[in-house]
Structure 1
Amino acid sequence: MHRPAPPLDVVSAMPGIAWPALPAASGAALLAILFQLEQTQWWPGERIETAQRRQLAQLVSHAAATVPFYRDRLPRDWPAAEDGAAWEAVWRSVPILRRHEIQAADESDAMLADQLPAGHGEYREIFTSGSTGRPIRAVRSQLWELVWSAFTLRDHLWHRRDVTGTLAVIRESGAGKAAWPQGDAQQGWGFSSAGLFETGRLVSLNVTTPVDQQLEWLQRQDADYLLSHPSILARLAAASQEAGIRLPRLRQAIGIAEMLRPEARAAIEAAWSVPVIDVYSTREAGYLALQCPDHGGYHVQSEGLRLEVVAEDGTPCGPGETGRVLVTPLHNLAMPLIRYDIGDAAELGAPCPCGRGLPVLTRILGRRQNMLRLPGGGRRWPLLSSGDLGALQRAVPPLRQYRIVQKALDHLHLVLAIARPMTAEEATAAQGWAQAKFGTGFRITVESHRELPRSAAGKSEDFICEVPDGG
């Protein structure tokens, strides 16, 4: 049974017409996409795949004709979209696109289309955060931004948000944002709904603001929804619990930009008694998967991109298997990214009981280069269970956050955020915990801070591997 979302009031752009509203052209186009998304989510998977192949045919034809990088990279002959087996065989012959190739082509603009089809608007330039240590420039069209807006609104609709409420956002620092000690505020939830729906206030704060000031600001804003990185949400939830501060109006916490660990979700939900809704997206590829509103998995946003989970040899993974994530945004003809390896790993799931035909990811494991490198060879995911975390908390009782950095094949460095200076006994206990968890073949070093340092984009990863391939 599907509960209805709160009503959305459309803003009329037609003089003399208040209701039913007649939006401006961009708003009408956005409503047209939303109307289709409401239908296509319930299509059978086979029908979604066929429609997706028809759009991919448009994309590869445009790329081959107008993008220098792709002129000799793409097959010339493609089967009909309805011939799934033959089409997929040709698709898998397309080379996987690597990040370093995008960077190399950037010097000559070889990945940019010479021209855009009519109606796609202007070129818009953005830069990724560089969470892999190698930021890239991405160029998108205005039409692609319209599609981005549609999936933003789908997320609001799926999770039944009242867009007339207050949305609080704690995100990356940027030009001018460091000068916002009290945060910033505006009417409306941003460009995704601007000029189409009546929305409430958007209040925002620099991610580098100390956590005690973040909590004071959040309490003062009395927001309905809070959007931030999962590590920030978890730290705020712990701080509010420690201080006995309640957020009575808060309805949902929304996680972005980082992997949401199950233990972090549980801690946030326990502290604030609200659900945590996770979003899987990248700046260069847009929305990859949204959390199912009815079950625990993530639905791939197949109307906006093709997402593949493949094994190391490039063969498709099946349900329950983990592989690397390849993405192909369907509608960005300004700078096509075809079979782009974003550096993540994910686990493919079985069809969702909700009845949506959109593919399912059951787990998003994060950056593949941040797998633990083993001294004797091989790699594994350094996932910590609730029992592991409890043992670390007992070893270092004032623990707030942790990060594990693999400095060498035989060296793990623990960076701990704790409420007071760490004692020698606690440092020794932390070393013992790490050797019990990861093995005695690792040399363990420990340092402590009051807060963990973040990347320029405000992200915080709990495991980082600094060992280069072949190192």
Structure 2
Amino acid sequence: MDRSAPPLTIVSATPGIAWPALPDAPGAALLAILFQLEQSQWWPTERLQQAQRRQLSVLLSHSRDRVPFYGSRLPRDWPDAADATAWEAAWQRLPILRREEIQAADASEAMLADALPPGHGEYREVFTSGSTGRPIRAVRSQLWELVWSAFTIRDHLWHCRDLTGTLAVIRESSAGKAAYPQGDTQQGWGFSSAGVFETGRLVSLNVTTPVDQQLEWLVRQDPDYVLSHPSILARLAAASREAGSRLPRLRQAMTIAEALRPEARQAIEAAWNVTVADVYSTREAGYLALQCPDHPHYHVQSEGLRVEVIGEDGQACAPGETGRVLVTPLHNLAMPLIRYDIGDMAEVGPPCPCGRGLPVLTRILGRRQNMLRLPGGERRWPLLSSGDLAGLVEAVPPLRQYRIEQKALDHLHVALAVTRPPSAAEEAAVIAWARKKFGAGFRVTVEAMAELPRTTAGKFEDFVCDIPESG
């Protein structure tokens, strides 16, 4: 990818002024945030943490006074943000917020602020996709959405995208919209970018469209950038190689919503000869981390939220260690989420050679409940290496996609998307492969189908643990 920064054209909203552009009030506020983000990304860690503590202190005071759920959950006396030792000790004593607490019927309204400070705008309601089958309601403010827009543009700027190009998006959409063969087309890359900058076309297609039709549509659109789930883009990359299809203008693939596996990144980059830029975000908390423009790891977006990665002992993980992800958005005063356990696991990394002071996550491992459960209570990540995948393809050559579901402590179900029904010998080879990979004590069943189903949000997980947490 060309790392030279393309020119940006700011849209003027003031009659009689074309240049220098004068944007409207929200546009000016967005540019003010971007100006500060350009500086703060280079701050040392200590300065970032002190600025975070200042904003978190404001958030805590508001939550205690205006949000019923936190009235008795937060202490009335709180250390000064300048006293790092006392402040952090008090923070560690705060209880962790569980998903079940948000979902509780009696807590839903209790988590909303009874009023917002001036300038925060209206309440905006969204629902998470609910990868566990239990979506949650989240409420955000208009100001929070403004900050969210700033991080969207930061991602574009970090990766030197030409905003005047065509962006193709394959993701969930409202019923009847973005349907094949035409999809949907709009001028501008959405309110985050198009409200301030001159941008090109945004073309979109519903994620439930069959892969062959997705590829035909994508080739026809000939975009400069494509954004979708990693599993979607990996399938498209494989299909385009098989069909000999080319995307001559494509400059970068952007991945969202699922954990990006190394093999998926490699497949996409090899098929289309472009880089892949991943985004780690959730609907309820916003951008957690963006891929570094110089390295494949991620930078926590510390100006927008505090991210903690903690071990089983509740202590912060050191570089190289893996733990649970807790998030606290800094600017959503409509429905504060304080030390919210989002259910993900991630690996902490050392400081980045790029010089940014933003914390590093080396890997996003995905949902904790989708770890392999062993009879003795142990959990481990069921990650497949390139050798493991080669073994599975060798066992069943018509394989297009797979998903492994743990149905019980001793039962693994292997679902296969195949171009033809596998033979009895191939099914036996899959069973042998699974027992070698995961353990000889597992009972393994195999199911073949033309296409593996996705969640209602279009997501795909290659390993799913169906054992209840209490089981």
Tell me: CA distance 1:43–1:106, structure 2 relative to 1, closer, same or farther (3 Å). farther
Q: Is contact 1:405-1:466 (8 Å) kept?
A: yes
Question: Contact 2:222 / 2:250 at 8 angstroms: preserved in 1?
Answer: yes
Q: For the structure 1 residues 27 and 309, does the alpha-carbon distance in structure 2 shift closer, same or farther, using more than 3 Å as the test? A: same
Question: Which residue matches 1:426?
Answer: 426
Name the residue aligned to 1:315: 315
Query: What CA distance in whole angstroms lies between the structure 1 residues aligned with 2:443 and 2:181?
Result: 41
Asked if residue 89 in structure 1 is aligned to residue 55 in structure 2, the reply is no
Offset at 1:143?
A: 0.2
State the SS of the aligned residue for 2:191. coil
TM-score computed with the length of structure 2 as normaliser: 0.98
Give the structure 2 partner of residue 352 of structure 1. Answer: 352
Residue 178 of structure 2 contacts residue 204 of structure 2 at CA under 8 Å; is this kept in 1? no
CA contact (8 A) 1:173 1:456 kept: no
Instruction: Give the distance between the partners of 1:310 and 1:80, measured in 2 at CA.
Output: 24
Task: Give the Cα separation in 2 of the matches to 1:3 and 1:450.
Answer: 40
Query: Where do 5+ consecutive residues of structure 1 fail to align?
Result: none
Instruction: Tell me which residue corresponds to 2:226.
Output: 226
Matched position secondary structure for 1:239: helix
Q: Which amino acid aligns with 2:101?
A: E
Asked whether 1:458 is paired with 2:466, we answer: no
After TM superposition, the structure 1 = structure 2 runs for residues 42-121 of structure 1, keeping only pairs within 5 Å, are 42-104=42-104, 109-121=109-121
d(CA) in 2 for partners of 1:108 and 1:461? 28
Q: What aligned pairs does 1:350-389 form with structure 2 within 5 A after superposition?
A: 350-389=350-389
**Equivalent AA in structure 2 for residue 131 of structure 1:** S
**Matched residue of 1:125: which SS?**
strand
Identify the residue that residue 36 of structure 1 maps to in structure 2. Answer: 36
Q: Distance in 2 between matches of 1:392 and 1:179?
A: 34
Distance in 2 (alpha carbons) for counterparts of 1:266 and 1:107: 44
Q: Which residue of 2 aligns with 1:133?
A: 133
User: How much does 1:226 deviate?
Assistant: 0.4
Structure 2: segments with no counterpart, 5+ residues? none
Deviation readout 1:407-431 (Å, 9 max, x if unpaired)? 0000000001111122111111111
Tell me what 1:337 maps to: 337
Conserved 8 A contact 1:229-1:459? yes
Question: Is the 1:105–1:111 Cα contact (8 Å) retained in structure 2?
Answer: no
Residues 462, 191 of structure 1: alpha-carbon distance in 2 compared, 3 angstrom cutoff? same
Instruction: Quote how far apart the aligned CAs of 1:212 are.
Output: 0.3
Describe the superposition over 1:349-387 as per-residue Cα deviations: whole angstroms up to 9, x where unpaired.
110000000000001100000000012331100000000
Change (3 A) 1:339 1:390: same
Once the two structures are overlaid, the 10-residue window that deviates more, 140-149 or 181-190, is: 181-190
Superposed, 1:181-260 pairs within 5 Å as: 181-260=181-260
What's the counterpart of residue 264 of structure 1? Answer: 264
Counterpart residue identity of residue 367, structure 2: R
1:169 aligns with 2:169: yes
| Cα RMSD after superposing both structures | 1.2
- Partners of 2:451 and 2:173 lie apart in 1 by 17
| Cα displacement (A) at 1:175 | 3.3
Q: Secondary structure at the match of 1:5?
A: coil
Change (3 A) 1:178 1:276: closer
Deviation at 1:181, TM superposition (A): 4.2
How much does 1:329 deviate? 0.3
**Deviation string, structure 1 residues 329-350 (Cα, Å, up to 9, x no partner):** 0000000000000000001111
Q: Is the 8 A contact 1:181 1:209 kept in 2?
A: no
Paired residue for 1:449? 449
Is the 1:106–1:137 Cα contact (8 Å) retained in structure 2? Answer: no
Q: How far apart, CA to CA, are the structure 1 residues paired with 2:336 and 2:105?
A: 12
Matches within 5 A, 1:2-41: 4-41=4-41
Structure 1 counterpart of 2:216, which letter? Answer: E
Which residues of 2 match residues 293-312 of structure 1 at below 5 A?
293-312=293-312
Q: Distance in 1 between matches of 2:167 and 2:33?
A: 24
Offset, 1:106: 5.8
Give yes or no for the alignment of 1:152 onto 2:152. Answer: yes
CA-CA distance at 1:313 after TM superposition: 2.3
Aligned amino acid, residue 75 of structure 1: P
For 1:385 and 1:403, how far apart are their aligned partners in 2? 15
Q: Could you tell me whether the CA contact under 8 Å between 1:69 and 1:105 is conserved in 2?
A: no
> Paired residues, what number?
470
Query: Runs of 4 or more off by more than 6 Å in structure 1?
Result: none
Matched residues in 2 for 1:247 and 1:3: separation? 20
Q: Percent identity?
A: 79
**CA displacement at 1:325 relative to structure 2:** 0.1
Q: With structure 1 as the length reference, what TM-score do the two structures score?
A: 0.98
Q: What is the rounded CA distance, in whole Å, between the counterparts of 2:225 and 2:463 in structure 1?
A: 28
What does the per-residue CA deviation read over 1:296-332, in whole Å, with 9 as the maximum and x for residues that have no partner? 2100000000000001221111111100000000000
**Structure 2 CA distance for aligned equivalents of residues 370 and 317 of structure 1:** 20
For residues 417 and 63 of structure 1, the distance between their equivalents in structure 2, rounded to whole angstroms, comes to 48
**3-state secondary structure, aligned to 2:461:** coil
CA distance, structure 2, for counterparts of residue 195 and residue 269 of structure 1: 31
Distance 2:362 2:195 in 1: 36
Code of the residue aligned with 1:209 in structure 2: it is T
1:176 Cα shift? 3.1
CA contact (8 A) 1:225 1:252 kept: yes
SS at match of 1:110: helix
Q: 2: CA distance between counterparts of 1:169 and 1:97?
A: 33
CA shift for structure 1 position 157 = 0.2
Cα separation, 1, equivalents of 2:308 and 2:177? 36
- The letter for the 1-side match of 2:66 is T
CA separation of 1:49 and 1:273: change in aligned 2, threshold 3 A? same
Rounded Cα–Cα distance in structure 2 between residues aligned with 1:389 and 1:369:
23
- Preserved contact between residue 346 and residue 365 of structure 1 (Cα < 8 Å): yes
Whichever residue aligns with residue 150 of structure 1, its letter is A
Of 106-115 and 94-103, the range deviating more from structure 2: 106-115
Q: Find the aligned partners of 2:222 and 2:249 in 1 and give their Cα distance.
A: 6
CA–CA separation in structure 1 for the residues paired with 2:219 and 2:182? 12
The one-letter code sitting in structure 2 at the alignment partner of 1:327 is V
Secondary structure of the equivalent of 2:26?
Answer: helix
The secondary structure found in structure 1 opposite 2:192 is coil
| Contact 1:300/1:359 (8 A) holds in 2 | yes
Provide Cα deviations, 1:430-463, integer angstroms capped at 9, x if missing partner: 1111011011110000011121100000000000
Structure 1 letter corresponding to 2:420? R
Question: What letter corresponds to residue 452 of structure 2 in structure 1?
Answer: L
The offset of 1:169, in angstroms, is: 0.3
- Decide which moves more: 178-187 or 310-319: 178-187
